[in-house]
Chain A
Amino acid sequence: MAGVSMKGIKLRIRSMESTKQITKAMEMVAASKLRRAQENVTRSRPYFETLYSTVCQIAGSSGSFTSPYLESREVKKSCYVVIAGDRGLAGGYNHNVLKLAEAEMAGKNVTVVPIGKRCVDNFRAHGYDILTDAYFEAGSLSVSDCFTMARDLCRRFLDGEFDEVHIVYTGFVSILTQQPAVMTALPLHGAGAEEKAASETIYEPDSETLFAAIVPEYLGGLIYGALCESVASEQGARRTAMDSATKNAEEMIGDLSLKYNRARQGAITQEITEIVAGANT
């Protein structure tokens, strides 16, 4: 019987090796994509942060004027922009962000703008109200797509189709750590500080026109920033997942080789025993 199990082990080793090659290749692809995505994040982060802090500051110091973007209306319907990945095999990346999104949405009347194929599939399968699935591929969205989406969302927000807009994305902390997060984009909420400085600020043309011009840009910028972070996170998560998959495969191959050698050894010993026994009779 030793021969059969030897053959079985050999087959398993071979299949493990080809799996290892695939995961190794995926890891390397993810690593090179990650480098690019990471550059994108570091480049867009100052923009993202400046935009956010400036708008928060204005909103916080806006005692003197009103804008539909600033009013907190009674929330009848919420809009969630959820950014996940296009593909699986990225560890817990998709699961984590979708789980967070679903926890956030629980009990609310929501409409979803899913970004990423996984995300679209998930929300469709669970019967959520999907506003648009025009942005299904996270990897290929450009800055101008983000701005188009933002303008559309702003218009709908002003029309009263929904009363708040949240963005669910994955923050890129480091190559090894990614943190899913929720950000409230609309209505604007102020930082509250700097009330005094604000009273002396000139708004041109006037605050309302200004907000109408700036807010879509702001939202577009936020979405783009969140997208960059998410794409980098996806690649980071995939790289880590594939790295550990490769390591596991190596470990299993090691185990199996040991078993294979033992079986081989056993077979030889048995054969010798049989020969010796035959010679003695």
Chain B
Amino acid sequence: MAAFRLKIVTPDGLLFSGEARSLTVRTVEGDVCILPKHINFLTALGMGEAKVVDVDGNVRKAACIGGMLSVNGDHVELVPTTFEWADEIDAERAERARAEAEEKLSHRERLSGHELAIAEAKLKRALVRSGVARRK
């Protein structure tokens, strides 16, 4: 079956390098699925679930936030800011972070614009993480 070279690199290191059959990620515009022989493509990533199907048909899910995706010939490079495989997500921590962020946002009138943005971003990240962890 056709495959492409997938490389996932984050500030925490090279998380995946090898052949893959498909890659689904959430971009700023919505979900996209990259299959082999895709046209050259470049987009910015949003916050959401990523799904990698490797050559043996194994599906791995991950929380993938920020960064970019580039397809160049049969080389696909996923360069997210954070990327965590579903089985490596600390669900409890995500849950705690979600509770904290919600608590903060519950009295939003006390927050400055900057703090509000940080708390909202935290909440979103926590939601993505716990969502992915739950569905694994």
Chain A residue, CB-CB nearest to B12: A43
Chain B residue, CB-CB nearest to A203: B42
- CB 8 Å contact bits of A189-233 with B (1 = contact, 0 = none): 000000001101111110001100110010011001000000000
Given that A54-B77, A217-B68, A217-B81 are contacting pairs, would A204 and B41 also be in contact in the complex, using a CB cutoff of 8 Å?
Answer: yes
Please give the distance in Å from B41's CB to the nearest CB on chain A.
5
The SS class assigned to the B binding surface is: strand
Q: Is there contact, CB below 8 Å, between B40 and A46?
A: no
Given that A44-B11, A50-B7, A54-B68 are contacting pairs, would A204 and B79 also be in contact in the complex, using a CB cutoff of 8 Å?
Answer: no
Residues in A25-78 with C-beta less than 8 Å from chain B: 42-44, 46-47, 50-51, 54, 57-58
- CB 8 Å contact bits of B43-83 with A (1 = contact, 0 = none): 11000000000000000000000111010110001010100
Q: Is there contact, CB below 8 Å, between A47 and B11?
A: yes
Residues in B5-44 with C-beta less than 8 Å from chain A: 7, 9-14, 27-29, 32, 39-44
Interface status of A93 (Cβ within 8 A of chain B): no
Cα distance, A217 to B7, chains bound together (Å): 18
Interface status of A147 (Cβ within 8 A of chain B): yes
Please give the distance in Å from B81's CB to the nearest CB on chain A.
6
Interface status of A181 (Cβ within 8 A of chain B): no
Count contacts on B: residues with CB < 8 A to the other chain.
26
Please give the distance in Å from B7's CB to the nearest CB on chain A.
7
Question: What interface size band does chain A fall in?
Answer: 20 to 34
Chain A residue, CB-CB nearest to B66: A217
Given that A201-B42, A204-B42, A213-B28 are contacting pairs, would A147 and B79 also be in contact in the complex, using a CB cutoff of 8 Å?
Answer: no
Given that A205-B29, A213-B28, A214-B68 are contacting pairs, would A51 and B40 also be in contact in the complex, using a CB cutoff of 8 Å?
Answer: no
Q: Is there contact, CB below 8 Å, between B39 and A204?
A: no
Cα distance, A204 to B34, chains bound together (Å): 14
Q: Is there contact, CB below 8 Å, between B14 and A46?
A: yes
Interface status of A143 (Cβ within 8 A of chain B): yes
Q: Is there contact, CB below 8 Å, between A210 and B42?
A: yes
Chain A neighbourhood of B14, CB < 8 A: 43, 46-47
A-B contact pairs, 16 of them (CB 8 A): A42-B13, A43-B11, A43-B14, A44-B11, A47-B11, A47-B13, A47-B14, A50-B7, A197-B40, A201-B42, A203-B42, A204-B27, A204-B41, A213-B44, A214-B68, A221-B11
